[in-house]
């Protein structure tokens, strides 16, 4: 390109290298008073060492398995956390084996609110002297109801049994938990038995084999009244004979909560039934003397010799031939008739 320009202006063209060497550097005018700047040295490339090749006799490298891809967060299943165990209630902690043999059972949730929580199976009651009173059969109750039964037997019934010269050994459980209405009437309100909050008791048995039925009229009245007063002081409901015709052969106890702590105590302690007279009189003994038959009046006596009257009939009624022939026979005096009430009133007025 320089040669072309030189030809155009009539100048001699010089080689490109010579022109480059003869031309002064562009920065000469900037360093006229001082030495010219030094040229930088030539940069030399350094060879990077490479790794040595693998020897031929070396064993082959093991193949590494492909890394598993983690599952996406949407498909990962969360770990199920175990539910914490419920803490025992204060009643459960207080009802120890020194008071009653009552293991806990799972909660019951039935239809219509039937069932309950904090349930136990009352198998026996432990007396202060370590003797056990068996509950036959075992009763399914709420802990609070089972504790009330145990305290009642330990504090009230056991001392009464000692007054009878023995100790209480068994408790007759007629009914405890049962999912039903009151008195088993269809459509009635849920019974406290359905809430495991009631116990029906028929009798308790002594160690000497004697059975004390709470509804037996032959049991001493004082004993039954003592049981009545102690039960009504501890339970919210006490039903027995004379309450509703459903509790004539057992006693019902429960802890039903009502307004103002209202209580029901309906149990009639009946006296023994009077002795009933026999329906038929006793047979007349053979050694008894014959009965005297009172003579009838003459008008009612059959006369001998009349038609239709035989001698045997006359003999049956005490008539004889000599009696019929005595016209002047005096009649027997008749007892005076008692005065009527009307005649008495008239005599008093007069």
The arithmetic mean of pLDDT across residues 114-118, rounded, is 93
pLDDT at 255 over 50: yes
Coil, helix or strand at residue 49: coil
Band of pLDDT at residue 37, cut at 50, 70 and 90? low
> What residues does each domain of the chain span?
92-266
Average pLDDT, the chain: 78
Return left, alpha or beta for 265; rule: phi > 0 is left, psi -120 to 50 is alpha, else beta: beta
Query: What backbone torsions phi and psi does residue 341 show, to the nearest 5 degrees?
Result: -65, -35
Distance from the Cα of residue 302 to its chain's centroid: 84
DSSP string for 292-347: PPPPPPTTTSPPTTSTT--HHHHHHTT--HHHHH-TTPPPPPPPPPPPPHHHHHHH
Q: Which of 8-12, 110-114, 144-148, 346-350 has the largest mean confidence?
A: 144-148
pTM: 0.56
The arithmetic mean of pLDDT across residues 99-127, rounded, is 94
């Amino acid at each position: 390109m320089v040669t072309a320009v030189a030809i155009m202006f009539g100048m001699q063209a010089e080689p490109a290298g010579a022109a480059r060497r003869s031309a002064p550097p562009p920065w000469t005018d900037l360093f006229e008073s001082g030495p010219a700047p030094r040229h930088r040295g030539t940069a030399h490339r350094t060879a990077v060492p490479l790794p040595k090749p693998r020897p031929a006799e070396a064993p082959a490298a093991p193949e590494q398995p492909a890394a598993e891809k983690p599952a996406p967060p949407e498909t990962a299943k969360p770990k199920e956390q175990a539910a914490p165990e419920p803490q025992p209630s204060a009643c459960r902690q207080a009802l120890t084996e020194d008071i009653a043999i009552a293991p806990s059972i799972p909660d019951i949730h039935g239809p219509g609110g039937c069932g309950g929580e904090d349930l136990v199976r009352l198998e026996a009651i432990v007396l202060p002297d370590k003797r056990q009173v068996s509950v036959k059969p075992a009763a399914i109750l709420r802990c609070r109801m089972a504790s009330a039964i145990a305290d009642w037997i330990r504090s009230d019934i056991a001392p009464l049994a000692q007054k009878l010269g023995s100790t209480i050994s068994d408790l007759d459980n007629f009914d405890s938990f049962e999912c039903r209405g009151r008195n088993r009437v269809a459509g009635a309100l849920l019974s406290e038995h359905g809430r495991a909050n009631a116990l029906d008791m028929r009798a308790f048995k002594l160690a000497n084999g004697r059975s004390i039925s709470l509804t037996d009229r032959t049991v001493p009245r004082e004993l039954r009244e003592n049981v009545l007063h102690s039960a009504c002081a501890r339970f919210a409901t006490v039903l027995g004979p004379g309450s509703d015709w459903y509790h004539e052969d057992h006693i019902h106890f429960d802890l039903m909560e009502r307004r103002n702590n209202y209580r029901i105590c309906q149990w009639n302690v009946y006296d023994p039934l009077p002795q009933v007279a026999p329906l038929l009189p006793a047979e007349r003994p053979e050694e008894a003397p014959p009965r005297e038959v009172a003579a009838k009046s003459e008008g009612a006596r059959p006369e001998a010799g009349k038609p239709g009257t035989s001698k045997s009939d006359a003999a049956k009624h005490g008539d004889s031939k000599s009696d019929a022939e005595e016209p002047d026979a005096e009649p027997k005096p008749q007892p005076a008739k008692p005065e009527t009430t009307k005649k008495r009133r008239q005599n008093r007025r007069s």
